[in-house]
Amino acid sequence: MKNRHYKKVIEIDVSKLEPVIAYPHLPSNGHSLSQAIKDNIRVDQVFIGSCTNGRLSDIETAAKIVKGKKVARHTRMIVTPATQKILEEASKLGYIKDLVDAGAVVSNPTCGACLGGYMGILGDEEVAVSTTNRNFVGRMGSRSSKVYLANSAVAAISAISGYITDPR
């Protein structure tokens, strides 16, 4: 490999960056997680998974956060692995058991809840934290529902607390 010389090197300490959550109704409507916490947003549903964020690492993160805890009484938690292979591996590693023991429902790999097709359709005025990549009006159900986009750690801890919460 050749020795490379750059005009400028920029180093960023990402540990000092604050997580961002996308407010309804656009993925680009990003706000700091601390703002969401100040807004005290109650969560009716948490959805972790789909083809975009149903990786084994996402499921592992969620399982480790909820292990030994229970999903808030007023909150539903749905987990959808991206593929059958990921579902099988997550089962072998005990992640699925930890999620189910916490009160989550685990579905087969599908586009169901992500696009409001079935299982997890949001009702009027309901609020969801989702790890999917879209939060347009009516995306997951009722046109009056609100979908906040977050990573699997924020989603999992929010399912436990029942409010958008910082996993740190």
37-55 pLDDT tens trace: 999 999 999 999 877 777 8
| pTM score, whole prediction | 0.87
Q: What percent of the chain has pLDDT over 70?
A: 92
The whole-chain average pLDDT of the chain stands at 89
pLDDT the model gives residue 119 = 76
**Encoded tokens for 81:** 């692995």
pLDDT the model gives residue 17 = 86
51-77 pLDDT tens trace: 777 789 999 999 999 999 999 999 999
Question: CA nearest 120: which of 49, 26, 14?
Answer: 49
pLDDT the model gives residue 117 = 65
100-142 pLDDT tens trace: 999 999 987 666 666 566 677 888 999 999 998 888 776 777 8
pLDDT the model gives residue 118 = 66
In sequence order, what E strands does the chain have? 20-22, 30-32, 45-49, 76-80, 105-106, 127-130, 146-149
pLDDT the model gives residue 15 = 84
